[in-house]
Structure 1
Amino acid sequence: MARKPDGPLRRGWTTGACATAATAAAFEALLTGRFPDPVQIALPKGEHPAFALAQKSRAGDVASAGIVKDAGDDPDVTHGALVLASVRALGPHAGVRFKAGRGVGTVTRPGLPIPPGEPAINPVPRRMMTEVVQAIAARLGGRPDLEITISIPQGEEMARHTWNPRLGILGGLSILGTTGIVHPFSCSAWIASIHRGIDVARASQARHVAGCTGSTSEAGVKKLYNLPDFAYLDMGDFVGGMLKYLRDHPVPRLTIGGGFAKLAKLAAGAMDLHSGRSQLDRAAVAAWLVELGAEPAMIGMAETANTGIEILEAAQARGLALGDLVARQARDQAAMVVEGKVAVEVVAFDRAGNIVGRAGFA
């Protein structure tokens, strides 16, 4: 994850909020010939932000409006993206229909809130757009029967830097948002993506999933198991969020892969492995070394070492199986969270991707 800057952080707007505002502007122009600019919408929690239009056009029974997404100070891959909404009038009682334009993905796997074959426009943004269309129709005397096409011209390239391909969302980005607001450096969005990954794996009848702290550990687990792509969960530092969801939505087997230092945090009971939210428990490491029969000098070194890898390398040089012990402790901590509903394995890696500790399925 990107480093959180110092000082107050500026909020931003979700793709769902931008798509709703663009839809509102386009529909009003379709009915009146005039584009409101800026265009104001109501968000689910009662806020009423206004959005400037970056693009607008009208031809026949189709009107289009575009808004440049401002994600505030969040390191969002879609910050600065142009979100376009084109609306086309349908016949009476047709209701609101959604279509994926250029750069917006299509759902291809079960397990997501939207069924396969549908545009990757999540339920809350769909509701927001439907409600704004109904409100404008009531205010201006039109019919709320529309086809809404959402496009993000650079979305297909942006989606390659998201979890969409792994979740089976192909062709572009998802239109997301539950409140309309992007809270900078929020953990909730990452954890929600882990949950959706578990949902997709379960819907695909996966019996073995892997949650890894990063690309090195994921590559290491891939050498051990030939799992389908959707079985790999982008756990990152949020092992607790993954384990708690698996406890309630179990998959038979889970492999946790990670760097030694991060797994040592899990072994000591930490459920958030980010360096800003948990630290290596050197007293716990020293106790593990005592258990392994380390000499006093080695134990003292562990209590003052700069990094976990430094401790591991010193233990390896003395023939002490610290990596395996940490993996076992981490597995036992994870097993307590899932309450026996999932068989857990833990594999620890060094920075080069070599296995330095392993505790098999319990």
Structure 2
Amino acid sequence: MNGLENKYIIKNNKRLRYGYTTGSCAAGAARGAVRMLLSGESFSEVTLNTPKGITLTLALHDITRGENYVSCAVQKDAGDDPDTTNGILVYVKAEKFFSENTENSGTHPQIILDGGIGVGRVTKPGLSQKVGEAAINPVPKAMILREAEEAAQEYNYEGGLKLTVSVPEGEEIAKKTFNPRLGILGGISILGTSGIVEPMSEKALIESIHVEMKQHFCQGENYILVTPGNYGADYLREHMTIPFENNIKCSNYVGETIDMAIDMGVKGILFVAHIGKFVKVAAGIMNTHSHCADGRMEVLCASAIRAGGTLECAREILEAGTTDEALAVLERYGILKETMAIVMEKIQFYLNHRSYKQIVLGAVVFSNVYGLLGQTRDAKKLITEIKKQSEKL
């Protein structure tokens, strides 16, 4: 019983369990390690109040003791969220130290917090932590220090404490995360703004996009290069002459990406995207996930009619199963180029509509079969700005 037994959401007709973050794991392990260090006793579990307002009961694992330290771990439970860190052990080692000039790395003057094995180190500016610091985000950091401080007060301890968070599997897991792109090397980040993992959380993914965009912006990139996924990144690398390694992946969140860029002060975004995703933007669809909306064939059909397509052409497009099948129909009827020009006009219109023309937006759209299909009116300007920007950085 960890306190989440009755916490769930219903999504796609399924009941999905809540879980808890690596930040909660570290905070719980910190409380357990400090209590055992100062009391000399052993505990099998601790309770933890999360920022979400949910109280967790967390089991303590792999307890080890030394002359002046105690180490223990809490196992991550992501609930029914597809989280790469699910099941890992997050350790905290608590050590006593005595110094008249205790270095302050947190809110408590006598507690030092750092990352050990498997916790990443920040190597680029633009993140919440300074270059060289452990990748422990602000809310988890505050949680860890609070739990350690409360445990110290419980035993009237006034000396110093050094806390080291480590994740033995962290370096390997980090390869599957955004961390290498963000310049966080050597391990995972200790995350969680609420202490709780909401299953299938879109909020977490959007926040990761925001973090990556902020880092690029803080490094002087006023014009941002965005791809929805791997197709776009591959196309950039193989067919375009702009620096593909600087691209940010926005997944399906086109609208949110634009909103965040405006709020941040970004001057422009160039999207490089597969037609299967971005044809939806030509209908004003700003979340391109199939569960939110489709309309691919309808957009292509309407655009084909505007380009002079026949009723039979329109019917064949509507019966197509994929965008490449629809493109084959357009090519066979000799109106592929004309139809794509109309699609590009609509994409530009709806990008500007989302942003109220506050920043420059454009798109380069391609197909894996047919190659470059077109680019919107402002794409050329953005390509030029991104190249100039790259030369300066």
Q: How far did 1:123 drift?
A: 0.2
> What is the RMSD computed on CA atoms of the aligned residues?
2.0
Counterpart for residue 359 of structure 1: 376
Structure 2 residue matching 1:146: 3-state secondary structure: strand
Alignment pair present for 1:46 and 2:61: no
Q: Give the whole-Å Cα distance in 2 for the aligned partners of 1:353 and 1:115.
A: 45
Matches within 5 A, 1:1-362: 7-91=14-98, 94-143=109-158, 145-222=160-237, 223-227=239-243, 229=245, 231-280=246-295, 282-320=297-335, 321=337, 322-352=339-369, 354-361=371-378
- Whether the 8 Å contact between 1:325 and 1:357 is mirrored in structure 2 is no
Letter in 2 for 1:50: T
Q: Give the whole-Å Cα distance in 2 for the aligned partners of 1:76 and 1:248.
A: 29
- Whether the 8 Å contact between 2:296 and 2:323 is mirrored in structure 1 is no
Structure 2 residue matching 1:150: 3-state secondary structure: strand
- Whether the 8 Å contact between 1:238 and 1:271 is mirrored in structure 2 is yes
Q: Give the whole-Å Cα distance in 1 for the aligned partners of 2:170 and 2:52.
A: 28
Letter in 1 for 2:42: F
Q: How far did 1:254 drift?
A: 1.7
The runs of 5 or more residues in structure 2 that have no matched partner are 1-10, 103-108, 380-393
Give TM-score, length-normalised by structure 2. 0.86
Q: Give the whole-Å Cα distance in 1 for the aligned partners of 2:41 and 2:332.
A: 75
Residue by residue over 1:278-336, the C-alpha shift from the partner in whole angstroms, topping out at 9 and shown as x without a partner, is 11254433221121111111112223332333222211222322334323322321222
Q: Give the whole-Å Cα distance in 2 for the aligned partners of 1:146 and 1:241.
A: 42
- Greater mean alpha carbon deviation, residues 306-315 or residues 39-48: 306-315
Counterpart for residue 384 of structure 2: none
Change over 3 Å in CA distance of 1:215–1:352 after alignment to 2: farther
Structure 1 residue matching 2:325: 3-state secondary structure: helix
Letter in 2 for 1:99: D
Q: Give the whole-Å Cα distance in 1 for the aligned partners of 2:244 and 2:290.
A: 30
Q: How far did 1:176 drift?
A: 0.2
Change over 3 Å in CA distance of 1:353–1:282 after alignment to 2: closer
Structure 2 residue matching 1:78: 3-state secondary structure: coil
Q: Give the whole-Å Cα distance in 1 for the aligned partners of 2:342 and 2:177.
A: 34
Change over 3 Å in CA distance of 1:250–1:354 after alignment to 2: farther
Q: Give the whole-Å Cα distance in 1 for the aligned partners of 2:243 and 2:186.
A: 23
Q: Give the whole-Å Cα distance in 2 for the aligned partners of 1:81 and 1:275.
A: 32
Give TM-score, length-normalised by structure 1. 0.93
Residue by residue over 1:79-136, the C-alpha shift from the partner in whole angstroms, topping out at 9 and shown as x without a partner, is 1111111112233654322212111101111111112111000000011011111211
Change over 3 Å in CA distance of 1:83–1:5 after alignment to 2: farther
Change over 3 Å in CA distance of 1:302–1:153 after alignment to 2: same
Q: Give the whole-Å Cα distance in 1 for the aligned partners of 2:147 and 2:182.
A: 29
- Whether the 8 Å contact between 2:297 and 2:326 is mirrored in structure 1 is no
Question: Equivalent pairs: percent with the same residue?
Answer: 31
Structure 2 residue matching 1:9: 3-state secondary structure: strand
Letter in 2 for 1:226: I
Structure 2 residue matching 1:49: 3-state secondary structure: strand
Structure 2 residue matching 1:57: 3-state secondary structure: strand
The runs of 5 or more residues in structure 1 that have no matched partner are none
Letter in 2 for 1:224: M
- Greater mean alpha carbon deviation, residues 333-342 or residues 108-117: 333-342
Q: Give the whole-Å Cα distance in 1 for the aligned partners of 2:281 and 2:350.
A: 7
Q: Give the whole-Å Cα distance in 2 for the aligned partners of 1:171 and 1:311.
A: 45
Q: Give the whole-Å Cα distance in 2 for the aligned partners of 1:308 and 1:38.
A: 54
Q: Give the whole-Å Cα distance in 1 for the aligned partners of 2:273 and 2:370.
A: 9
Letter in 1 for 2:64: S
Structure 1 residue matching 2:17: 3-state secondary structure: coil
Q: Give the whole-Å Cα distance in 2 for the aligned partners of 1:260 and 1:325.
A: 13
Change over 3 Å in CA distance of 1:311–1:353 after alignment to 2: closer
- Greater mean alpha carbon deviation, residues 323-332 or residues 156-165: 323-332
- Whether the 8 Å contact between 1:216 and 1:353 is mirrored in structure 2 is no
